[in-house]
Amino acid sequence: MSRRFRKPLEKKSVRDAKKGERGEKRGGKPTFAKKPSEKRGPGQRAFDRPDARFGDQKPRRPAKALHEALPEVREEKVSAPLPTKVQTVVVTADENNMRVDRFLEAHFPGLSFSHIQRIVRKGELRVNGKRADSKDRLNEGDNVRIPPLKLDAPKTGGNLSEAGSKVLDELRKMVLFEDADVMVLNKPAGLAVQGGSGLTRHVDGMLEVMRDAKGQRPRLVHRLDRETSGCLLIAKTRFAASTLTGSFRHRSARKIYWALVAGVPKPKQGRISTYLAKEENEEDSIMRIAAHGDEGAAHAVTYYAVVEASAQKLAWVSLKPVTGRTHQLRAHMAHIGHAIVGDPKYFNKENWQLPGGLQNRLHLLARRIVIPHPRGGVIDVTAPLPPHMLQSWNLLGLEADRFDPIENAPEE
């Protein structure tokens, strides 16, 4: 399901944003929930109504593709040429605190995520003469050494192979929204977004079959964990990739997740604020709760709201991350004692039995994404429950069309 609006995404007032501060971590109850019975005010959009429902299945008039609606803006911006030799770029004030991979994406939108990860992993990219991780943060004045770069070679030979045609068909079945610049996929649980150790099948690789005649291919602009399903935003043009990456960097994107957690959080609405840092071991890595000033620690903020509970055993929780740290939602819910059902990394409740009939898989869905469109208006896309979560909702008698109070949570 997708919705488009011409108005830009509205900002919350300072007074509304402060309401959530009383719910810092587990204390206090933020007052961002509104009664579903409130009437729609003059000029109020359906998205802003307190009684708007994610499960609303009413048919909507399909939006025109942007190249039809706005033909006068079809010309793309020219991106920076890729360096053919080693060069050093100085981080500007506007780029302060930007992640290394986002810095490269902003400067060279034509690069694939896999290419960026490869040059970082090999140590070809250096910050102030030292190796850097793709998630490291840059400071104004840093010197970033960038090696020679090149776009992945375009496919030749014209028609796709039989295998390529199957991959293209798989991608088409995932599409929730698409126009000339942007595509939103409903990523299934179990499909990785990017390649990694031992991974040969992932969304980034599958997008190779969508290269155009000029050799350009769609690009990832954010990520989801492998076992998380739902809305995955894809840029189809270099201009869109650069613009959407900027929207994520400036937190103009609104993301809402649904999860099934152990127990029922109290209070039922709250704000979780911690520092997170990566903890490596021989077999795996996780994000641990850290203290301010710890090496690699980054601030993470999440708003949560209980939508419906099943006795006191399980709860359907809606989540709005303000920041976008690795495993943020999973680590935060485990931190307050209500880990997400089926989470192999963070579920740490002893002697807890999964109710009969529920699958032991991660119950986390990237339910909705709202982000300014690169050429004006707003992209608003909602993903359905994946099969294993739909089965759980049905078994527990949870009503997927209930009012979700997280819509009114602050953006800060």
Q: Which are the catalytic amino acids?
A: 225
The SS3 call for residue 299 is strand
d(CA 334, CA 322): 18
**What DSSP assignment string belongs to 11-36?**
PPPHHHHHHGGGGBBTSS-------T
Structural tokens at position 406: 């997280």
Per-residue DSSP letter, 39: P
DSSP 137: B
Angle among Cα 200, 204, 208 to the nearest 5 degrees reads 95
CB count in 10 Å sphere of residue 2: 19
Phi, psi angles (nearest 5°) of residue 373: -75, 140
Bridge-based pairing of strands 229-235 and 364-372 is parallel
Q: In terms of Cα–Cα distance, which of 130, 127, 122, 132 is closest to 144? A: 127
d(CA 168, CA 44) in angstroms, rounded, equals 40
